């Protein structure tokens, strides 16, 4: 199976050197698959989508379900993202969504996004998962004076069209409720969402799924996918094989080319990098007028995303390189350290504690994709959360569970912009070059403000 980045990015035998791994719970004790097993539904991928699907299939519908994960449970993006439970999971503007799908479908999409946030919160309560929830909303900050008007228009649309309470703040007002910086010229607050510890959430959902009857197998990457004489799917790993009537593909940005031909050429995995600092003192926080536990994104096309962690370490994220090579990753780390100090000059000399990276998943459609393969209705998929999977992936997993267990309601809850696969990229082997070109274009836009 082929990959778009250096093999180090896909090395599921290696631990992720993240803040979350250092501060999270013990790994879920899930053994590798070492025998021949069978089930009704097999899930490929042990992140939010797959774990949520397993939980809802087993708990709500009594389905015999088994899950295969290449690394440890939560090894992929679900265990290494920034912990932003926010919206939207799309790279289209509100105006673009309405033009393409219509106002009513756009309203359905935003309602589903809010429902996804509520689902994460309810999973914590229902399954007794402590995932360090903090904050009471999400903030977006204008990195340049010219971007504030766009944020204000977005705030009006969110409030008036979708009923999502959203406030706007001048630079001075944002300093009082958020922070000050060299790239803070006002912003908005969406009164939905929060921040969390992503690995604690992933492990908690996995433990709940297993407790409810799902079988989880870690370190069991699918290396071959066949059909047996009865037409059942046969998923082979290095140590065993799993036979199933139906399969859910839940591998998102870590999907390898060749795993299933229906997915080849449709996904654009993109590297995202995160650094964290040592805990900041009260004096250091005051130097940047830091007042919030809410997660924050700025208005750059190649955005910075950041938040204060419960121990007062600072998390700072940005897009990564286009090769995945270790040397290129280290160069991005050094660039992020410099840029953190330029945006927050009082923290210029604060040492970093952790650096890690992973893959988010983009597509030409620029919205998530959930459904069944047209060529094989026994195969389901959920992927492409466009760097916003914390609320969307668990929702997608629940939607897939309902599609399988309640066929009469198969497509009833899917907004149009979530249903169906994205188109393939033309000359799909050139995707890394498309990404290079897009980065150059976005850098020029960001430089102009």
pLDDT, one tens digit per residue, over 151-165 is 999 999 999 999 999
Say which CATH topology domain 133-196+269-362 has. Answer: D-Amino Acid Oxidase; Chain A, domain 2 (3.30.9)
Report d(CA 162, CA 352) in Å as an integer: 40
DSSP string for 28-76: P--PPP-SEEEEEEEEE--SHHHHHHHHHHHHHH---EEEE-SSSTT-S
CATH of 7-81+199-261+365-440, one of 3.40.190.10, 3.50.50.60, 3.40.449.10, 3.40.50.620: 3.50.50.60
Q: What is the pLDDT of residues 167-200, one digit of tens each?
A: 999 999 999 999 999 999 999 999 999 999 999 9
Query: Residues in the chain with pLDDT < 50?
Result: none
CATH 3.50.50.60 residue spans of the chain: 7-81+199-261+365-440
CATH 3.30.9.10 residue spans of the chain: 133-196+269-362
Residue given tokens 């870690």 in the structure block: 218
Q: Map residue 153 onto helix, strand or coil.
A: helix
Picking from 412, 410, 277, 391, the residue whose alpha carbon sits closest to that of residue 343 is: 277
Report d(CA 282, CA 313) in Å as an integer: 12
Helices (H) and strands (E) in the chain, counts: 11, 18
Q: Which two tokens stand for residue 55?
A: 């939980």
Report d(CA 280, CA 347) in Å as an integer: 9
pLDDT for the residue 1: 80
What does the chain come to in residues? 449
DSSP assignment letter at 91: S
Cβ atoms 270, 253 nearer than 8 A: yes
């Amino acid at each position: 199976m082929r990959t778009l980045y250096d093999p180090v990015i896909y090395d599921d035998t290696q631990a992720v050197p993240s803040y979350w791994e250092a501060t999270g719970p013990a790994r879920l004790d899930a053994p590798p698959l070492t025998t021949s097993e069978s089930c009704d539904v097999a899930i490929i991928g042990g992140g939010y989508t797959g774990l949520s699907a397993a939980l809802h299939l087993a708990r709500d519908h009594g389905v015999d379900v088994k899950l295969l994960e290449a690394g440890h449970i939560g090894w992929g993006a679900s265990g290494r993202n920034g912990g932003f439970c926010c919206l939207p999971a799309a790279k289209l503007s509100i105006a673009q969504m309405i033009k393409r799908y219509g106002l009513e479908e756009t309203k359905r999409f935003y309602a589903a996004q809010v429902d996804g946030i509520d689902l994460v919160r309810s999973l914590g309560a229902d399954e007794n998962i402590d995932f360090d929830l903090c904050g009471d909303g999400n903030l977006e900050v204008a990195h340049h004076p010219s971007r504030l008007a766009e944020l204000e228009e977005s705030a009006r649309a969110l409030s008036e069209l979708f009923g999502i309470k959203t406030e706007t703040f001048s630079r001075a007002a944002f300093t009082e409720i958020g922070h000050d910086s060299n790239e803070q010229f006002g912003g908005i607050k969406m009164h939905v969402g929060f921040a969390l510890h992503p690995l604690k959430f992933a492990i908690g959902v996995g433990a709940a799924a297993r407790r409810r009857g799902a079988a989880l197998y870690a370190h069991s990457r699918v290396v071959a996918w066949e059909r047996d004489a009865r037409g059942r799917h046969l998923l082979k790993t290095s140590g065993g094989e799993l036979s199933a009537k139906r399969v859910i593909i839940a591998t998102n940005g870590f999907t390898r080319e060749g795993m299933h031909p229906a997915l080849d050429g449709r996904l654009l995995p993109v590297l995202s990098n995160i650094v964290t600092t040592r805990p900041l003192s009260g004096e250091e926080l005051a130097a940047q007028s830091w007042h919030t536990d809410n997660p924050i994104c700025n208005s750059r096309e190649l955005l910075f995303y950041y938040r204060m962690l419960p121990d007062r370490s600072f998390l700072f994220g940005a897009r990564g390189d286009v090769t995945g090579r270790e040397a290129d990753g280290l160069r991005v780390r050094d660039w992020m350290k410099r840029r953190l100090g330029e945006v927050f000059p009082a923290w210029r000399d604060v040492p970093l504690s952790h650096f890690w990276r992973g893959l988010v998943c983009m597509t030409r459609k620029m919205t998530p994709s959930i459904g069944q393969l047209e060529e094989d209705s026994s195969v389901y998929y959920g992927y492409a959360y466009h760097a916003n999977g914390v609320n969307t992936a668990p929702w997608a997993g629940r939607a897939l569970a309902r599609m399988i267990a309640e066929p009469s309601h198969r497509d009833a809850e899917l907004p149009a912009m979530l249903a169906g696969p994205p188109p393939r990229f033309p000359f799909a082997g050139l995707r890394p070059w498309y990404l290079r070109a897009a980065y150059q274009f976005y850098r020029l836009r960001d430089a102009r403000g």
